[in-house]
Amino acid sequence: MSAPELAQLEMLAQVDELVAKLNEWVEPDIGWEPLQQSQALVRRLLKRIEGLRVRLESPLVVATFGGTGTGKSALVNALVGREISPSARKRPTTIRPVLLVHSNTDVNLLGLPLDKLDVVQCDTPVLRDIAVIDCPDPDTSEAASAGSNLEQLHQLLPHCDVLIYTSTQQKYRSARVVDELGQAATGCRLLFVQTHADVDEDIREDWVAQLGGRYEVPDVFFVDSLRALREQQAGHRPSGDFSKLQDLLTTQLAASQRTLIRRANLVDLVQSALDHCRGQIADHQPQLVELEDVLQEQRHKLVGRMSEQLRDELLDSRNLWERRLISSVTQNWGMSPFSSVLRLYNGLGNFIASFTLFRARTSAQMALIGAAQGIRWLAEKRSEQKAESRLEKLSAFGLDDAALRESQVVIGGYLQSAKLDPQLAAPGNLEALRHEATRLEDQFLGDAAHRVDQLIDRLANRHSGFFTRWSFEILFLLMLGYILYWPARNFFYDMPMHQARSLAIDFYITAGVFLLLWSGTLVMMFTRRLRRGLNREIGTLAESLAQSKVATGLFPDLENTCTAIETHTERLKALSNMTSDLRRHIAAPAGLGAALPEEITVQS
C-alpha cells in the first residue's frame, strides 16, 4: 500500500473517530438548557453526516445560488452546452428547481427530495461526475413559507456539495442574498462567479473585499454565459474565464476528488456546528459561573456558621482536654523537676484533698472526707462523660433549617438566569442531604473522637520538644538552686568558718513562698502556651469537622450538575480543537472556496 493511500486511510479513521466521539457527547442529558440545545444541534448534524456517508460514492451535487437576475439559469445552460433551463436578466424565471444529471447517474443515490425537483437527463461531459441544480432565487419572497423559494432552498442546500455563487455588478451587495449564503455555505465548497461580463464592469476586487472576512475566495470567474453557450453550440471551445470554470468542474470535481471534497465538507460542517455550540454556551457561561460562585459562597457561609458552633461545643470541654494534654506532656517528659510540678498542678485537687485526711480526728470526720472525695470523683467522671456526650452531640449536629432555606432562596434566583432546573434546589434535596448526614453519623463520631486524640498527641509532642522542655526545666532549677544555695552556704561555710547562726525559719517561709510563686508563674506560662495552641487546634478541628459534615455541599444534585456541565463543556472544546486540527490537514481541491470558521470567545 502506497504512502498516499495510508495517509488517506488514516485521515478517514480520524474522521470516524470524531464522529464516534460526537455520538458519545450527545448521549447524556445534563439538564442545562444551552447544552441540551447544543446536543440537539449535534444530533441533527450527525443525521446529515450519515446522509453524506450514504452518498459518498455518488456524483457531487453542484447548485447555483444567487439573487434574482444574476444569470444562474444562463450559467447552467452554458455549462451543459444546451438551453435546458429558461433564463432572463430582469425577472426570476426559475420557480421550481431543475436537476440536471447524466443518463448513467442513479438519482436515488443523491439523497435529494426528488418530488421537489424537475429532473432533466443530459449526456454532456460536464455531468459525468457531477449533478447540477438550477435553484430558485433567495430574494423573491420575504419568508420561508410553505412552497416559497426560500423554503425550497432550505430543503435542497443541505444536500449540496458545491455552491456556485453568482452575482452581478448590481447584486453583489445584496444583504438578503449574503445572509442566505452565510447559512447555506457551511459544509459546502464554494465557487464565485460574476456574470453578465458582456455588459457589467469587472467588480471582482471589490467583491472579494466584501467576502474576504467570511469566506476563503481563491478565485472569482468573470463570465458571459450567453456567449459561452453560443460558442459551444457553434462547436467552438468557450473562451475567457468560462473555459477555466468548465475545466475546474470537470477536473477538480471529478470522481477521484469526491471523497476528499465530501470529507472536507463534513469537517467544515462539524467545525461550524461546534463553534456555534461553543458560542451559545459561552453566551450563558457568565450566569453559570455566577451561580457557582454564589453556591460556593453559601457553602462557605454555612460551614463558617457550623464551624463557630462546633468550636463553642468543643471549647466547653477545654478543661478536660487541657488536663489530658498536661498528662500527655508529663508522660513524654518522664521524671524531672518541672514535670513533677506539672503533675502536682494537674492533680492539685486530689493533692489538697489528701491533706484533709490528716485533719480528721474521728470516724465521722473520716467518713465525711471520704464522701466528699467520692463526690469529687463522681463529678470528674460526669465531666468526662459530658465531654464524650458533646462528641456524640457533634455527630448529630444537623444543618440549620433557617440557614438552608435562606441559601435555597438565594440560589433559586440564580438558577433561572442560569437556565437550570429550579428543582435542583428543591426542599427534597435538603431532606436528602440531612438523611445522608445522619447515615454518616457513626463514621463522623469516630472521626471526631479520633481527631481529638490526635490533636492532644500532636500538641503534647510539640510542647515537649527539647528546646521547650529544657527552657522550663532550667528556669525552674535556677530558682530552686538559688534558694538551696543559701542554706547550703550557711550550713557548710558560714557556721563552721565564721561561727554564724543557722538561718531562721522566716528565711525558709519566704523562700518557700517565692518558690511557690516562681513555680506558679512557670506553670501559668506553660499552660497558657498549651491553652493557646489548644484553642487554635480546636478552631482548625471545628472547621474541618464542619467541612466534612457538608462534604457534599448544600445542594449535591446542583453541584453534580455544574460539575457535569464543566466536564461536558471541556469535552466540547476538545472536540472543537480536534476538528480544527483535522480541518487544517484536510484540504479540498485547489480553486474551491469555503466559509471561514467563526471566532469564538469562550469565558474561562
- From 53, 22, 51, select the one nearest 38 (Cα to Cα): 22
CB of 541 within 8 A of CB of 394? no
- From 196, 197, 220, select the one nearest 208 (Cα to Cα): 220
Say whether pLDDT at 78 is over 70.
Answer: yes
What CA–CA distance (Å, rounded) separates 402 from 318? 29
Q: Which cell is 271 given? A: 467545525
Which pLDDT score, from 0 to 100, does residue 89 have? 47
| Range of weakest confidence among 37-41, 330-334, 593-597 | 593-597
Kindly list the distances between the CA atom of residue 398 and the CA atoms of 306, 384, 478, 506, 550, in Å, as whole numbers in the listed order: 9, 23, 53, 62, 10
What CA–CA distance (Å, rounded) separates 512 from 515? 5
N residues, the chain: 604
Rg (Cα) of the chain, in Å, rounded? 45
CB of 252 within 8 A of CB of 274? no
What CA–CA distance (Å, rounded) separates 328 from 342? 11
Q: Which cell is 34 given? A: 444551552
Q: Which amino acid is at 593?
A: G
User: Which bin fits 155, alpha (ψ -120 to 50), beta or left (φ > 0)?
Assistant: alpha
CATH of domain 59-253: 3.40.50.300
Edge-first strand order for the sheet with 98-101 is 118-121, 98-101, 130-134, 60-66, 162-167, 189-194, 220-222
The whole-number average pLDDT for the span 158-163 is: 85
Q: Which cell is 302 given? A: 454555612
Q: Which cell is 294 given? A: 454564589
CB of 338 within 8 A of CB of 473? yes
The percentage of the chain sitting over the pLDDT mark of 90, rounded to a whole number, equals 4
Which pLDDT score, from 0 to 100, does residue 452 have? 73
Which pLDDT score, from 0 to 100, does residue 24 have? 92
Give the model's confidence band at 573: pLDDT under 50 very low, under 70 low, under 90 confident, else very high.
Answer: very high
The whole-number average pLDDT for the span 189-218 is: 86
The percentage of the chain sitting over the pLDDT mark of 70, rounded to a whole number, equals 74
Our measurement of the distance from residue 83's CA atom to the centroid of its chain's CA atoms, rounded to an integer in Å, reads 59
Answer whether 0.85 is exceeded by the pTM. Answer: no
User: Which bin fits 114, alpha (ψ -120 to 50), beta or left (φ > 0)?
Assistant: alpha
The whole-number average pLDDT for the span 475-497 is: 86
Which pLDDT score, from 0 to 100, does residue 115 have? 83
Say whether pLDDT at 61 is over 50.
Answer: yes
Our measurement of the distance from residue 407's CA atom to the centroid of its chain's CA atoms, rounded to an integer in Å, reads 23
> Where are the CATH 3.40.50.300 domain residues in the chain?
59-253
